[in-house]
């Protein structure tokens, strides 16, 4: 082989190697560019989705002149469902998982070293859900009675057409059935607590029963209040439309399973927090004299587990639980909490309690707005926003206190005070003080106060002697006078 031929062969091999290298580099560059372009498009899509004010709008202008906006349903995900698609936001979720794992490891270490048995929160969960089958039986009867409201309502709405309009018989028929419905709501308020307290259910079961009782009463009232006026103003042969709720095309069972798994994990989250951060601190209350500085210190320290329990409960009820049932029922509007409509501010970024109260629990807020606030503002006391707001806060505070008092088995009006007193004040002060730091600080302190006072009262009911008067013992917190027995000694 001549020198010239050898040189040409080497040059050809070099060109082939150069071509292969350039092709690989170009492929890598193109892949990176395409990947970055797709990432940019996805990020842009997510930002556009998250910052679209129409997506989180839940009110539309009413057709009636001078009336407040009406509820509007749209097909949309829950806010956190969309946010968790962003890696940076997903980190917050991962941090809560890490806290859960640390509490889990702490619980395992404590169980092995202190008691020699591994319970992992099972004992406290078993106590909280004691007599769970009985609670399901009570709930089933409540659900049946709620669904049965449709039967007499259907009878009333069709039979009233047999009477001539504006006749005495039609008025007696209408007011008679209205009286029956009010009587039913009163009985529904009285009977479940009597049965539940007689059965001596666990705290979690009692709380679930009374939360469901409130929900069913709200449902019954909403059904009658929204549908009855259409039958009262009904005219034969007129164009009458019916409500059609947005529904999804299919049930994604993987989403249902995922959300219910999160419900179970959050329940264990509660158990670990209570076992490691709450019960070891407050179980001594009522067994020895505790100085006032111990109480102050415990309240401040309770802010950390208090806010963890509050955030976890919010996620359990308003995200995991609601999304699981919405998916099974194919309900497309998942706006159970929201961002403010006028400016995209979710409840955890609220700078005032005015925004927080309107966004953190859309389910309850919409009911209070539609069936109490609007009725007072438009019918009972026209154009009186202040009175409507006061009554909404009062009703909300009463039912929050009702659920907590019957759920825990004692009356301690701290929840009522926080809602009707502090909460209402902060609602109006929010116009002056606007800071997310202030909202979170007050939120943490408030939850610490409620957690510590309810924990002290719980152990006072176990460790302290009752009042001599039955009714005084029923309504007066024992923790207020429990320390006196140690001072006298």
Residues catalogued as catalytic: 400
User: Cα separations (Å) of 21 from 10, 31, 79, 92?
Assistant: 16, 15, 47, 42
Tokens of 227: 């549908």
Q: How far apart are CA 419 and CA 398, in angstroms?
A: 9
Q: How far apart are CA 476 and CA 289, in angstroms?
A: 20
What is the torsion angle, in degrees rounded to the nearest 10, for the CA atoms of residue 13, residue 31, residue 87 and residue 434?
A: 120
Residues belonging to the chain: 489
Q: Counting runs of H as helices and runs of E as strands, what totals does the chain give?
A: 22, 2
Q: Give the number of other CB atoms < 10 A from CB of residue 455.
A: 22
259-267: list long-range contacts, CB under 8 Å, 24+ apart: 259/319, 259/320, 259/321, 259/323, 259/324, 259/327, 260/320, 260/324, 262/315, 262/316, 262/319, 262/320, 263/316, 263/320, 263/321, 263/324, 265/100, 266/312, 266/313, 266/315, 266/316, 266/320, 267/125, 267/316
Task: Give the DSSP H or E segment for 71.
Answer: strand 70-71
What burial letters (b/e) apply to 162-185, b meaning 16+ CB within 10 Å? eeeeeeeebeebbeebeeebeebb
CA angle 165–171–172, rounded 5-degree value: 135
Place of tokens 């210190």: 297
Tokens of 220: 């019954």
DSSP assignment of 368-407 equals HIIIIIHHIIIIISTT-HHHHHHHHHHHHHHHHHHHHHHH
Task: Check the CA dihedral 106-109-112-117 and report its sign.
Answer: positive
What is the torsion angle, in degrees rounded to the nearest 10, for the CA atoms of residue 359, residue 365, residue 366 and residue 367?
A: 170
Q: How far apart are CA 266 and CA 259, in angstroms?
A: 11
């Amino acid at each position: 082989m001549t020198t010239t031929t050898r040189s040409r062969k080497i040059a050809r091999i070099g060109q082939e190697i150069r071509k292969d290298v350039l092709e690989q580099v170009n492929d890598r560059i193109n892949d990176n560019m395409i990947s970055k372009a797709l990432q940019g498009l996805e990020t842009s899509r997510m930002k556009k989705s998250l910052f679209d004010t129409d997506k989180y709008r839940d009110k539309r202008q009413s057709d009636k002149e001078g009336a407040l906006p009406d509820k509007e349903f749209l097909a949309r995900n829950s806010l956190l469902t969309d946010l968790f698609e962003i890696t940076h936001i997903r980190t917050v979720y991962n941090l809560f998982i890490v806290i859960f794992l640390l509490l889990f490891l702490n619980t395992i270490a404590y169980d092995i070293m202190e008691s020699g048995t591994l319970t992992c929160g099972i004992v406290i969960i078993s106590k909280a859900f004691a007599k769970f089958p009985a609670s399901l039986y009570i709930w089933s009867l409540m659900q049946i009675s709620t669904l049965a409201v449709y039967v007499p309502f259907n009878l009333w709405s069709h039979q009233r057409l047999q009477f001539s309009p504006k006749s005495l018989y039609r008025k007696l028929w209408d007011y008679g059935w209205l009286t029956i419905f009010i009587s039913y709501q009163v009985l529904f308020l009285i009977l479940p607590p009597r049965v539940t307290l007689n059965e001596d259910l666990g705290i979690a079961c009692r709380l679930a029963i009374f939360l469901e009782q409130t929900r069913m009463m709200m449902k019954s009232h909403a059904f009658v209040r929204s549908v009855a006026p259409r039958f009262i103003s009904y005219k034969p042969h007129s164009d009458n439309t019916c409500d059609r709720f947005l529904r999804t095309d299919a049930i994604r069972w993987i989403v249902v399973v995922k959300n219910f798994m999160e419900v179970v994990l959050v329940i264990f989250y509660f158990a670990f927090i209570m076992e490691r951060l709450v019960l070891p601190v407050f179980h001594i209350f009522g067994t020895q004299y505790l100085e006032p500085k111990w109480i102050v210190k415990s309240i401040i320290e309770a802010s950390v587990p208090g806010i963890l329990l509050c955030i976890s409960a919010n996620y359990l009820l308003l995200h995991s639980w609601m999304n699981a049932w919405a998916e099974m029922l194919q309900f497309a509007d998942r706006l159970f909490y929201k961002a403010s409509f006028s400016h995209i501010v979710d409840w955890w970024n609220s700078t005032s309690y005015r925004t927080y109260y309107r966004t953190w629990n859309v389910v309850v807020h919409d009911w209070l707005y539609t069936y109490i606030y609007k009725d007072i503002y438009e019918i009972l006391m026209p154009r009186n926003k202040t009175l409507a707001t006061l009554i909404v806060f009062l009703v909300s505070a009463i039912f929050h206190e009702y659920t907590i008092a019957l759920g825990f088995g004692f009356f301690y009006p701290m929840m009522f005070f926080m809602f009707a007193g502090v909460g209402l004040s902060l609602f109006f002060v929010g116009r002056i003080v606007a800071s997310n730091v202030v909202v979170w600080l007050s939120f943490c302190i408030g939850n610490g106060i409620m957690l510590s006072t309810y924990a002290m009262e719980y152990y006072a009911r176990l460790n302290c002697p009752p009042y001599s008067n039955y009714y005084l013992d029923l309504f007066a917190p024992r923790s207020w006078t429990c320390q006196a027995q140690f001072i006298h000694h």
